[in-house]
Copies of this chain bind each other. A is one copy, B any other.
Amino acid sequence: MCQLLSMNCNTPTDIVFSFEGFRRRGGLTDEHADGFGIAFFEGKGVRLFRDDKPSAHSPVADLVRQYQIKSTNVIAHIRKATQGQVNLANTHPFERELWGQYWVFAHNGNLENFHFSHAEYFNPVGETDSEQAFCFILEQLRQKYPTRPNNQAIFQEVKMLSEKIRAYGTFNFILSNGDWMMAHCSTNLHYIVRKAPFGEAHLIDEDMSIDFNKETTPNDQVAVIATLPLTLNETWTPFAKNTLLLFQNGQPIHL
C-alpha cells in the first residue's frame, strides 16, 4: 500500500517538519520505497516533485527540505506499488486541469477491477487504479457541470463518487484544487488541527522536535492529514470510516 500526507492552512506554511518524518517511511522506517511525490499549490500554480526513487534517499526529497516552500495546500504520497510498474507515470500525486484550475490527487489503497471506458475529458496516462479513479472523478464532475459550480455541489458530487468507487476496494484519498482540500477515508486516515496556543511536537520516525510557538503567528491555523500520526505527543483524530471531509483555511468544514 502507500501512505498519504497533506496539509491545508490559512496562511502559507512550510511542511518540512512533517515531511521529514513522513519521507523516512519511504525506505527507512517503513517499506513504502517505490517512489514518492509532493505537490505544492502556489497561487494558482502547482509545484510538483515526483521521483521513482525511495523518498528516504531521494535528492528530490532533499531539495524539498532545503527549499522550505510555503504553501496553503500540499499533498504528498509515498508509494508501495500494488498496481502498475514503478515508474514516473505511475507516481502520485496526479495533476489535471478542470474549469481553469489545477487539481491534484493522491490515493492510498487498492481498487480491484475498477475500469471505465474511454472518457470524453480525462484519460489516464499510466496504469494505476489510482489515476483511473482520479480521472473518473474529474470526468463525472465535468460531465455534470460544464462550468464550475459552488463548493457544496462539488463536495456532494465527490462524496457520491467516493461511495461508488470504494465498492471496488480501499480508497483513502486526498484531492485539492488549491482553494480547499478534500480527504476521504475508507479504512485509515488521521488529522490534526494546529492553532494557538501552539505547543511542541516530536516526530515518531525521527528524533526531531519543533516548537510551533516559534514558527507561527497567533492567527495561523494548519490542518495536517496523514495515513498514520506523525508525532508522538499530539492527539490525532482518526477519520470515521467511509467519510469525506472538506478542509478550508486549516480546518474541517461541515457542509
* Interface set of A (CB-CB < 8 Å, partner B): 42-50, 59-60, 63, 66-67, 87-91, 95-97, 99-102, 118, 121-126, 147
Residue of B with least CB distance to A51: B47
Is B100's CB under 8 angstroms from A123's CB? yes
Is B45's CB under 8 angstroms from A88's CB? yes
Q: A44-B89, A59-B67, A87-B43 are in contact. Are A125 and B96 (CB under 8 A)?
A: no
Greatest chain B CB density within 10 A among A42, A90, A91, A125 is at A125
Is B122's CB under 8 angstroms from A88's CB? no
Q: What residues of chain B lie closer than 8 Å to A121, measured between beta carbons?
A: 121
Q: What residues of chain B lie closer than 8 Å to A123, measured between beta carbons?
A: 97, 99-100
Is B63's CB under 8 angstroms from A59's CB? yes
Q: What residues of chain B lie closer than 8 Å to A48, measured between beta carbons?
A: 48
- Give, as a whole number of angstroms, the nearest-CB distance from A135 to chain B: 9
Given contacts A43-B89, A45-B89, A95-B95, 9 further A-B contacts (CB under 8 A): A44-B88, A44-B89, A44-B125, A44-B126, A45-B50, A45-B90, A45-B125, A48-B48, A97-B122
Among B59, B91, B122, the residue within 8 A (CB) of A66 is B59
- Give, as a whole number of angstroms, the nearest-CB distance from A54 to chain B: 15
Residue of B with least CB distance to A118: B147
- Give, as a whole number of angstroms, the nearest-CB distance from A96 to chain B: 6
- Across the A-B interface, the 6 shortest Cβ-Cβ residue pairs: A45-B88, A45-B89, A44-B89, A100-B123, A42-B88, A63-B63
- Give, as a whole number of angstroms, the nearest-CB distance from A120 to chain B: 8
Among B43, B66, B67, B88, the residue within 8 A (CB) of A88 is B43
With the chains together, A85 CA to B36 CA distance in Å? 31
With the chains together, A178 CA to B143 CA distance in Å? 28
With the chains together, A42 CA to B89 CA distance in Å? 8
With the chains together, A154 CA to B66 CA distance in Å? 42
With the chains together, A43 CA to B52 CA distance in Å? 12
Q: What residues of chain B lie closer than 8 Å to A89, measured between beta carbons?
A: 42-45
